[in-house]
């Protein structure tokens, strides 16, 4: 107990000012493949992870497609039964399993395997889930109708949004902040942003952060169809269905997966000679205060989130050259976001590149912002702008520079700095300001 109190006092005495926060590890489970290398190469190659959904129940629905994590034993595929025991899988929903797999890759990538208690107490987890698996609820209710005694004692842990964070914390013994955000499609970005603030403010030195989602089912697809949110016009050509900014877009494609980042205080990373992908400079949040599912028409919510991220980063608009947009491929949302970007950057708009990687992997809901943040960080590290696939007929007149169908070299004589947007139902918005690491 004495050592714990000493450690706590030492952490409390840490200067809680604006410490620098860097990204040192990435893990990815996605429709484009599992593993950072596989997913990144697939993205740059213009591949699509959208497929036709199998099962008779999907045939009666307007949308019959989804972006599924590839299952199997081949390179880039995922076999949960080969990673977890049957008893372990009974205790967790698929989203939690995805988060655990991504967290393992991120920790190995960061070479962060704390053994002593101080390091474990100095490592936290901030991982959220946007939406529970409705299949779990429906199946267990049918079981309950047969017999109370057949209700699984693991039912509640399977449906709690914070269990991905809890399972990661328990597996590795991390006793830092154990945090969960559940803000619909902004979940992943909010999780990274909150974790960033924990590290920058001195609450802890290392955080695992991100989001996970696995809720594709006939009921979930039907529910989003009733909202008229999903693409329904390309069921026979699923790889063409997700088409952000394109004139013929007609809705998003639901996806699943997880991405986890390891972020840490700069000096902590340097002292252990960690590989550094990039730096988080700022984080902005806002509310639309307009509608349950639609963004404010004037784009004020998106504008405020981006503006606040820049102010938090103490970064001028002229320093930004890339925006990884939230753009889900909906007719209304994409247009409003572009309007907000143009309003924010003004005359600098002509120097801004914009892309949405959702064309390739669909919309991962609560795992969207974090997967796309990972791709933004890889773009910064490698100097490559990822493409928006299926963009053939831009439906707006804009000075913005788009990246249709093929990657572009990120030419910059200055530091590469980007914004990553994420917006969710209920009018919740997040924006991360991410940058190339410079000493």
Torsion angle of C-alpha atoms 326, 253, 256, 62, degrees rounded to 10 = 150
Distance CA 421, CA 193 (A): 11
- At 298, the pLDDT band (50, 70, 90 cuts) reads confident
Query: From CA 264, how far away is CA 188, in angstroms rounded?
Result: 17
Q: Is the pLDDT at 309 greater than 80, yes or no?
A: yes
**C-alpha gyration radius of the chain:** 21
**pLDDT at res. 289:** 87
pLDDT at 7 over 50: no
How far is the C-alpha of 391 from the C-alpha of 401, rounded, in Å? 13
Selected catalytic residue, list 179, 190, 326, 361: 326
User: Cβ(420)–Cβ(282) under 8 Å?
Assistant: no
pLDDT at 5: 41
- State mean pLDDT over 109-130: 97
Q: How many whole angstroms separate alpha carbon 155 and alpha carbon 411?
A: 51
Phi, psi of 124 (to 5 degrees): -120, 175
Residue among 341, 359, 328, 360 at smallest CA distance from 401 = 341
pLDDT at 394: 96
Q: What is the distance between the terminal CA atoms of the chain, rounded to a whole angstrom? A: 38
Q: Average pLDDT over the chain, rounded to whole?
A: 94
How many other β-carbons are positioned within 10 Å of the β-carbon of residue 357?
28
User: Quick one: which of 383, 373, 432, 434 has its CA closest to 407?
Assistant: 383
In which band, very low, low, confident or very high, does the pLDDT at 17 lie, cut at 50, 70 and 90? Answer: low
Nearest by Cα to 422 from 184, 260, 180, 185: 185
The contacts of residue 153 (CB under 8 Å, 6+ apart) are none
Q: How confident is the model at residue 267 (pLDDT cuts 50, 70, 90)?
A: very high
Annotated active-site residue in 34, 363, 431, 433: 363
Mean pLDDT of 262-267: 98
Catalytic residue among 63, 185, 315, 431: 185
In this predicted structure, the answer to whether residue 295 has a pLDDT above a threshold of 70 is yes
Which has more pLDDT, 17 or 364?
364
Q: What is the pLDDT of residues 68-119, one digit of tens each?
A: 999 999 999 999 999 999 999 999 999 999 999 999 999 999 999 999 999 9
> Facing residues of 284 across strands?
431
Question: Phi and psi at residue 355, in whole multiples of 5°?
Answer: -150, 160
**Which residue, 353, 419, 362, 342, is CA-closest to 185?**
362
Q: Is 113 a catalytic residue?
A: no
> For 194-247, how does the pLDDT look when each residue is reduced to its tens digit (9 = 90+)?
999 999 999 999 999 999 999 999 999 999 999 999 999 999 999 999 999 999
Whole-angstrom distance, CA of residue 114 vs CA of residue 176: 12
Average pLDDT over residues 278-286: 98
Q: Is the confidence at residue 301, as pLDDT, over 70?
A: yes
Residues 6+ apart with CB under 8 A from 259: 26, 27, 28, 29, 30, 102, 188, 210, 211, 367, 370, 371, 373, 374
- Give φ, ψ of 89 to 5 degrees: -65, -25
Query: Is 185 considered catalytic here?
Result: yes
Distance between CA atoms of residues 422 and 395, nearest Å: 21
User: Which residues sit opposite 212 in a β-bridge?
Assistant: 129, 258
pLDDT-based confidence at residue 180 (cuts at 50, 70, 90): very high
Residue 193: is its pLDDT beyond 70? yes
Does 392 participate in catalysis according to the annotation?
no
Q: Does position 341 have pLDDT exceeding 60, yes or no?
A: yes
């Amino acid at each position: 107990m004495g050592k714990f109190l000493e450690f706590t006092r030492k952490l409390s005495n840490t200067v809680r000012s604006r410490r620098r926060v860097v990204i040192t590890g990435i893990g990815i489970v996605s429709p484009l493949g599992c593993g950072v290398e596989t997913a990144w190469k697939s993205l740059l190659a213009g591949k699509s992870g959208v497929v036709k959904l199998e099962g008779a129940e999907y045939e009666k629905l307007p949308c019959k497609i989804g972006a599924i994590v590839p299952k199997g034993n081949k390179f880039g595929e995922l076999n949960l039964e080969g990673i977890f025991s049957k008893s372990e899988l009974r205790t967790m929903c698929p989203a939690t399993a995805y988060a655990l797999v991504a967290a393992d890759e991120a920790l190995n990538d960061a070479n962060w395997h704390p053994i002593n208690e101080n390091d474990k107490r100095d490592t936290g987890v901030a991982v959220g889930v946007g939406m529970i698996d409705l299949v779990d609820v429906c199946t267990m209710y049918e079981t309950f109708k047969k017999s109370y005694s057949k209700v699984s004692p693991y039912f509640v842990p399977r449906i709690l949004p914070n269990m991905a964070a809890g399972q990661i914390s328990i597996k590795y013994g991390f006793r830092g902040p154990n945090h969960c955000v559940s803000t619909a499609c902004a979940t992943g970005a909010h999780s990274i942003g909150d974790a960033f603030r924990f590290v920058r403010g001195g609450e802890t030195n290392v955080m695992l952060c991100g989001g996970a989602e696995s809720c594709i089912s006939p009921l979930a697809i039907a529910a989003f169809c009733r909202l008229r949110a999903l693409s329904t016009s390309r069921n026979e050509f699923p790889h063409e269905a997700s088409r952000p900014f394109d004139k013929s877009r007609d809705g998003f494609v639901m996806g699943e997966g997880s991405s986890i980042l390891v972020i840490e205080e700069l000096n902590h990373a340097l002292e252990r000679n960690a590989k550094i992908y990039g730096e988080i400079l700022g984080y902005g949040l806002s509310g639309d205060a307009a509608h349950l599912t639609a963004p404010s028409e004037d784009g004020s919510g998106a504008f405020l989130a981006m503006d606040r991220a820049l102010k938090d980063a103490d970064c001028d608009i002229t320093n930004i050259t890339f925006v990884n947009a939230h753009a889900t491929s909906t007719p209304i949302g994409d247009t409003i976001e572009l309007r907000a970007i143009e309003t924010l950057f003004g005359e600098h708009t002509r120097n801004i590149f914009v892309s949405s990687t959702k064309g390739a992997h669909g919309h991962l809901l609560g795992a969207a912002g974090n997967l796309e943040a990972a791709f933004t960080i890889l773009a910064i590290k490698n100097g490559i702008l990822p493409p928006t696939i299926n963009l053939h007929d831009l439906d707006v007149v804009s000075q913005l520079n788009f990246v249709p169908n093929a990657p572009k070299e990120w030419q910059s004589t200055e530091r590469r700095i980007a914004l990553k947007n994420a917006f969710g139902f209920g009018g919740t918005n997040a924006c991360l300001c991410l940058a190339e690491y410079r000493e």
